A and B are shown apart, each in its own frame.
Chain A
């Protein structure tokens, strides 16, 4: 039995309010972060960094932002792509228009810009709910798609509408190699995940969840719906905006509005639902599932085909990828409608009880 919390007593409320109340969890996560920061750079190759790990980290950050809004505050959004775009383009404009603008500051300001628009587009949520709101947020998405294509100022009048960034440098550190880019993203992700965790275990997080679960009752106990909803929009958009800036600056290097299209919005929402709404961990599971699985299938299927002696055509692979990907989504939701994170915690619960069921 590897997983046991017996004998771990908490003697103060502070201890009980730790992020991980079970020591194994704490060491596991700390170990994971340490491994990500120290081990991975030695183990992974360039392909892994560039094509898998960096996008995974950045999208996990964005998914985290979406999760704050959708999972914690219950406001379904399909406009996340737009906020990524706002973050990216705002950061870009800060970089090109302000001399000597430090990179990290520009990114954070990108996040702030996104937060501003988040509040603006969050206003309808005060009246409109659920799926109606989800579809209404598409207005933000298409409006932004359009604005970044059509209004030259945002792209510094680049003829094609595509923008790119020059050198990346933060605090004298030139971020050039994939490893450096990876670490740069990792720092953002770890810090932001911690912030998110803090918020969700504090009063603001409870306000969001209360609004999510039953807004009338929340109001009756003194939660201001406007503050709770708009703060969720702001914080979530801030996260997403920063992720957008990372996506543009660090991952793509050069981008056009299509990089933040409505498909991206959907993708982020998938991550949250598959990973687990209202779970920080879930955002990471979801991002891993959505980013890595297609890549994995894409490479694994030809290999599998090779084993049984059939060569699968590229189209065949992509179609199979669609089918398997879709089926897995369905499968996991049937097994556990609350997402991978819940599946994970049930598995832990079983381990804890093992070998005695129930």
Chain B
């Protein structure tokens, strides 16, 4: 193993270009310590998804390329590995937008998640049970084709499918999207649970900053393809700017969405 404290995953100054012309990441560096939960925050189009794709090597399919920098996992350069190799090494991504196998049933979807595992049928069954325990809703829909399940069910399926691989590092892209509040809490509880019990590390891109910072150990904030701020989750959560822009809290606490509108609107009119 590595020296203590040396990064489990480290992304060093990477640059990503889509389609040979669209430069999206302009030198992003971050690291994830073993057994930690790291949140990647930022607005739409900041490049969170792209960063995760760069780590899991799923960029190729989007015609993107890492043109500069390096990605190291457990001290090994992984840019040349296939996504499948990475999964074998324990790095699994939950893709944004669900990407369930529509023609497969929920259960089949989950089982494909265990594709790389070699620890026997029984162990897989065990994990499957565990996933069903996490998401009882999936159990009731286990025999439906994934395409015919609801958005949230698909999201659960995608997360469950990743867990089926018994990963060491999970790249979670917007896990809370489309999930009911209770389930969102649940998902993060699961994350915490896996993190503490099985020392699974998480890198999660998330819009729901409030929850993300609550559960994360460390956070990065991205804007426009660059990391603009980083720090322990606790510090970020109390930072004034973060509070205003990402948590929607200003001095006097949370503003009603209805009121913000008028305030903003007026501001715009004035300018």
Contact between A and B in the complex (any CB pair below 8 Å): yes
Instruction: Scan A83-106; emit 1 where CB is below 8 A from any B CB, else 0.
Output: 000000000000000000000000
Contacts of A349 in B (CB 8 A): 21
The answer, yes or no, to whether A34 is at the interface (CB within 8 Å) is no
Contacts of A346 in B (CB 8 A): 19-21
The answer, yes or no, to whether B30 is at the interface (CB within 8 Å) is no
Closest beta carbon of chain B to A291's beta carbon, Å: 29
The answer, yes or no, to whether A30 is at the interface (CB within 8 Å) is no
A353 — nearest CB in chain B belongs to which residue?
Answer: B21
Chain A's interface size range is under 10
The answer, yes or no, to whether A127 is at the interface (CB within 8 Å) is no
B23 — nearest CB in chain A belongs to which residue?
Answer: A358
Contacts of A358 in B (CB 8 A): 17, 21-23
Closest beta carbon of chain A to B47's beta carbon, Å: 14
**Complex CA distance for A350 and B21, rounded to whole angstroms:** 7
B26 — nearest CB in chain A belongs to which residue?
Answer: A358
**Complex CA distance for A358 and B21, rounded to whole angstroms:** 6
Contacts of B23 in A (CB 8 A): 357-358
Closest beta carbon of chain B to A352's beta carbon, Å: 10
A349 — nearest CB in chain B belongs to which residue?
Answer: B21
Closest beta carbon of chain A to B28's beta carbon, Å: 15
**Complex CA distance for A357 and B17, rounded to whole angstroms:** 11
Contacts of B21 in A (CB 8 A): 346, 349-350, 353, 358
Closest beta carbon of chain B to A186's beta carbon, Å: 34
**Complex CA distance for A357 and B67, rounded to whole angstroms:** 13
Closest beta carbon of chain A to B163's beta carbon, Å: 31
B15 — nearest CB in chain A belongs to which residue?
Answer: A358
Instruction: Scan A333-358; emit 1 where CB is below 8 A from any B CB, else 0.
Output: 00000000000001001100100011
**Complex CA distance for A353 and B21, rounded to whole angstroms:** 9
Contacts of B22 in A (CB 8 A): 358
**Complex CA distance for A350 and B22, rounded to whole angstroms:** 10
Closest beta carbon of chain B to A130's beta carbon, Å: 14
**Complex CA distance for A357 and B19, rounded to whole angstroms:** 13
Closest beta carbon of chain A to B151's beta carbon, Å: 15
**Complex CA distance for A287 and B128, rounded to whole angstroms:** 54
**Complex CA distance for A349 and B18, rounded to whole angstroms:** 13
Closest beta carbon of chain B to A314's beta carbon, Å: 40
Find the residue from A346, A349, A350, A358 having the highest chain B CB count within 10 A. A358
Within 8 A of A (CB), among B6-25: 17, 19-23
**Complex CA distance for A350 and B19, rounded to whole angstroms:** 11
**Complex CA distance for A320 and B21, rounded to whole angstroms:** 35
Closest beta carbon of chain B to A115's beta carbon, Å: 36
B19 — nearest CB in chain A belongs to which residue?
Answer: A346
**Complex CA distance for A358 and B22, rounded to whole angstroms:** 6
Find the residue from B17, B20, B22, B23 having the highest chain A CB count within 10 A. B20
**Complex CA distance for A353 and B22, rounded to whole angstroms:** 11
Closest beta carbon of chain A to B232's beta carbon, Å: 34
Within 8 A of B (CB), among A300-358: 346, 349-350, 353, 357-358
**Complex CA distance for A358 and B68, rounded to whole angstroms:** 14
Contacts of B20 in A (CB 8 A): 346, 350
Contacts of A350 in B (CB 8 A): 20-21
**Complex CA distance for A88 and B261, rounded to whole angstroms:** 64
**Complex CA distance for A145 and B203, rounded to whole angstroms:** 60
Contacts of B17 in A (CB 8 A): 358
**Complex CA distance for A353 and B23, rounded to whole angstroms:** 12
Instruction: Scan A267-309; emit 1 where CB is below 8 A from any B CB, else 0.
Output: 0000000000000000000000000000000000000000000
Contacts of A357 in B (CB 8 A): 23
Closest beta carbon of chain B to A3's beta carbon, Å: 14
Closest beta carbon of chain B to A353's beta carbon, Å: 7
Closest beta carbon of chain A to B106's beta carbon, Å: 22
Closest beta carbon of chain B to A358's beta carbon, Å: 4
Instruction: Scan A106-147; emit 1 where CB is below 8 A from any B CB, else 0.
Output: 000000000000000000000000000000000000000000
10 sample A-B contacts, Cβ–Cβ < 8 Å, listed by A number: A346-B19, A346-B20, A346-B21, A349-B21, A350-B20, A350-B21, A353-B21, A358-B17, A358-B21, A358-B23
| A-to-B contact residues, CB < 8 Å | 346, 349-350, 353, 357-358
Please give 8 more A-B residue pairs, beta carbons under 8 A apart, in addition to A346-B20, A358-B21, A358-B23.
A346-B19, A346-B21, A349-B21, A350-B20, A350-B21, A357-B23, A358-B17, A358-B22
| B-to-A contact residues, CB < 8 Å | 17, 19-23
The 3 A-B residue pairs with the shortest CB-CB distance in the complex, in nearest-first order:
A358-B23, A349-B21, A346-B21
